Chains A and B, each alone.
Chain A
Amino acid sequence: MRFWPFKGSGQAPQRRVVVPHINPLPKIVAMRSALKRRVPAGYPRVGMWVRYGSRTGILKGITPGDVATVMLVDDKGENVSDIFVPANTLRQAYVDEIPVPRRPTRAQAELLGYLR
C-alpha cells in the first residue's frame, strides 16, 4: 500500500479536473416545463374541473412527478375513464365546458374561477 506523498516517485500525481458538460435545457422544454409554469393561486385543487384536450374531467390528484390523475366524464357528468397525464397539459375548465347536470351557478363559477 502506498500513501501520498509517494516517496521516490519524483513526480507529482496527475490531477484531472472534470468540467461538467452543461447542456442548456432546450427552450421548448423549458417553456413547457411545469416547474416554469406560472399557476394561479389555489391551483390545482383536487376535485376541480379541468380540460384535457377537448375532454372535460375532474382532477383526482397530482403525484410528485407532476403526473395528474383525471377522471374524464361524459355529458351527464358521470365517469368515463381515468387518465394519467402531465399536469401541464391540463387547464381549468370553463363553466360552459362542465356537464350541464353538474354545472355550478354563475356566482359559484365566478368564485372558483370557471368564468371566461
Chain B
Amino acid sequence: MTAPAPRYDVEGVLSDEQRAAAATNAFVRDFGPVAALYLDSCIHCGMCAEACHFYEVTKDPKYTPVLKVEPLKQAYKREYGPFALFFRLFGLKRRVTAAELEQWQELLYDSCTLCGRCSLICPVGIDIASLIAETRYGMAAAGLVPHELWQAAEAAATGSPSGLDAETFRQRIAALEAEHHVVVPVDKPTAKIFATVSDTDLLHYPASIVAMAKLLNHLGCDWTLSSTAFDATNAGVVAGRADVEQAVSRRLIQAALDCEADIMLLPECGHAYGSLRWRGATAYGEELPFRILHITEFLAEQVTSGRLHFRPLNTSVTFHDPCQVARRGGVIEAPRIVLAALGAELREMFPTKGMNWCCGGGGGVVNIQRADKLRHRVFELKREQIDATEADLALTSCSGCRRTFDDAQAHLHWETSLRSLLELAAEHLPEAPA
C-alpha cells in the first residue's frame, strides 16, 4: 500500500499515539456484521474506480473508492475481526498510525462526496460509500478533519453550521416576510407540519425559504418553523462527528415531537435528507410518530392527490438528481412528477436518476477550499452531461449542489445556472404573477 501525498488539517491537542488510538477505537466501536462482511469480502478487483468521478477525471489510482477505507480495514483486521489475534500475534497487520490517517485525510474528505456511485458497480455488492462514511467517524475522533468541516460541525452542535442563533434566525425570517410579502410562521406551539430550512438556503438562497412558505400557504397548511431547531443541514454527518450528528438530529426531532407534527418537512438539502430520513430515528433511539419528507416528495404528493396545480412552464428542462436524495435516498420519481405537473419538457441526462454523476461538491467537499481545483476538474463531467441535453433550464432539489454549480459556473465561465425546483414550482403557482 503506497501512501498518497500528505495534505491534512489537525484539530485538537492530542498526541499522535492518542489520535491513532482514538481513531482505532472509533473505527471498531460500532462495528456491525454488515461492515465486517464487506471488509472481509473485497476481492480488490478495482472496478469501483470506474464509477468514481474523481478517478474518472484524473485516472489517479489513489482515488479508487475502496482504497479510501484502508485504515478502517486495517483496524478491523488487526483489532476486531475473527482472526485479529493471529494478525496481532504474527504481526500480519500493522497498527493504524496517525501519519497514515493524516495522509488519508485528502482521500476521505477532499475526494469523496459519499455519493455512493461506487456502491452500484461492486460485483461483490459492497456498499463502499457506507464504509467511507464509517471511516470518517474514526478520522473525526482523531481530530483529523478539514478545518472547514470541523468548524461547521462545532457550530452546528448548538445552532447552525454558520453560527446563526435563534435571534438572528427570527430577524432573517422577519426580513424575508417584509421583503416578499409572505407569512412565515415561527415557533407556533403546535402545527401539522414542522418545517426546516438549510443553512445554505439562509446564507445563499433565501428565495427557497420564501418559495416553501408560498407553497405551504397556498396549500393552506398548518405549519411552522422553529427558531431553536431550524437548520436541518447536519454538518456532523459530513465531518464524521457522530456526536454532532446525533445532537442535531435529536434537537430537530424533539422540536417536531413538541410541536405534535404529523410531518417533518426537509428543505432542498441532500445530507439533511440522509441524516434525518434514514438515520434520524436511530439517532433519537425510537421509531418516530411523524413522517419525514423532502420538500420534493411533499410537492409530488400534493400533485398526485390533486391539491396542487401549476401554470404551465412551457420550456425544456433537465434535472440533476442529488445523490443523497435520489441514489442514496430513494426520491427519484417525485421531482419528475412535479416537473410533469409543471408541463416541462424533461430532457434526461445520461446517465440519469440513480446513476447520475455527482456534482462533485457533496459530502462537504464544496466547503473544503484546498479541494477547489480538483472539484472544478470533476465538475467538467457534469457540465458535459448538462450541455448534451441542450435543455433551456437545469434544475435540482439540493442547495449543496446549487452551491457547487454556482462556484463552478463562475470558475468555468459557463452560461448555465442550476435552479431550484422548489423555487420554480412556487413561481408557477396559479396565483403567482407571470
A joins B in a complex? no
User: CB within 8 Å of A: which residues of B?
Assistant: none
User: CB within 8 Å of B: which residues of A?
Assistant: none
